Structure 1
Amino acid sequence: MKGLIIKSPWIEQILEGHKTWEIRGSNTKIRGQIALIKSGSGHVYGTVDLVDCKKLNATTYQSGERYHGISRDECQVMPYKNTHAWVLENPQIFANPVPYQHPMGAVIWVNLDS
């Protein structure tokens, strides 16, 4: 399973179902259930289904506050040259976060054992 590294407070918002777009500077072809790793914690906090990836223009980004949780005032400038929304569904929070071994150099994705 792939694990996606996400900083706080965004990971909590995803796992609570409040945030359904993860904004990134690149496309992803990965689909299906992925693990969510809290950046710097050494733990997997839950899972989510990665169901789509959409390239955003300024209008879509600025009007997507309900999906990405970033206020309209903070959306005046695109965060990346190529801004994408990774669309997430079905968040599942683990009762107890699961430790994992963080490989050297992993920044976005981690390959996890089952």
Structure 2
Amino acid sequence: MTAHSDRPTFEPPERALMVREPYVSLILTHRKTWELRASATKLRGRIGLIRSGSGLIVGECEIVDVLGPLTLRQLRDTSFISAAERDEIAREDKPPYVARDGQSKTFAWVVDNPIIYDEPIPYRHPSGAIIFVDLTRPGVLCSEASPSAQERQPRLF
């Protein structure tokens, strides 16, 4: 399904999160709504989603909440992460992120309202960006290589 943006021009989010495959695709198709991270974030709202290693912003979603730290039982029992993640957690018998004292430091960044871009947006990865990329920094977005903002039509799921 293709939806037309009600905004006169497309404006990319100010920040983008780097996510590995297959997880970025699972988020974009609304089959994964918890992105597991080693820390909480205060950021809420619209963020871009970068397919790690691709140089492309492939879509966006909203961070609507943060939960945690999560227990091993919560992680085993949830349907909000992928089956592969649940299997790995069960196999390892521990949360993905654990403090030196053995306590979980695994947080779920709760995401919703995914949008897949029909045309991914190329970007230049800035030095030092590990979790988020600041898309407002000059030279980060490669606008000359991507379709014009008015031609871009997001797909909603």
TM-score if structure 2 supplies the norm length?
0.69
Structure-1 residue corresponding to 2:154: none
| Alignment partner of 1:25 is 2:38 | yes
Structure-2 residue corresponding to 1:101: 124
Structure 1: unaligned runs, 5 residues or longer: none
Q: 1-side partners of 2:114 and 2:34: how far apart?
A: 12
Structure-2 residue corresponding to 1:50: 63
Q: 2-side partners of 1:89 and 1:73: how far apart?
A: 23
Q: 2-side partners of 1:108 and 1:54: how far apart?
A: 18
In percent, how many aligned pairs have the same letter? 42
Q: CA deviation at 1:74?
A: 2.0
Structure-2 residue corresponding to 1:75: 89
> RMSD of aligned C-alpha atoms?
1.3
AA aligned opposite 1:36: L
Structure 2: unaligned runs, 5 residues or longer: 1-13, 99-104, 142-157
Q: Which of the pair has more CA radius of gyration?
A: 2
Structure-1 residue corresponding to 2:19: 6
* Structure having the larger proportion of residues in strand: 1
SS of 2:50's equivalent?
strand
Q: CA deviation at 1:107?
A: 1.4
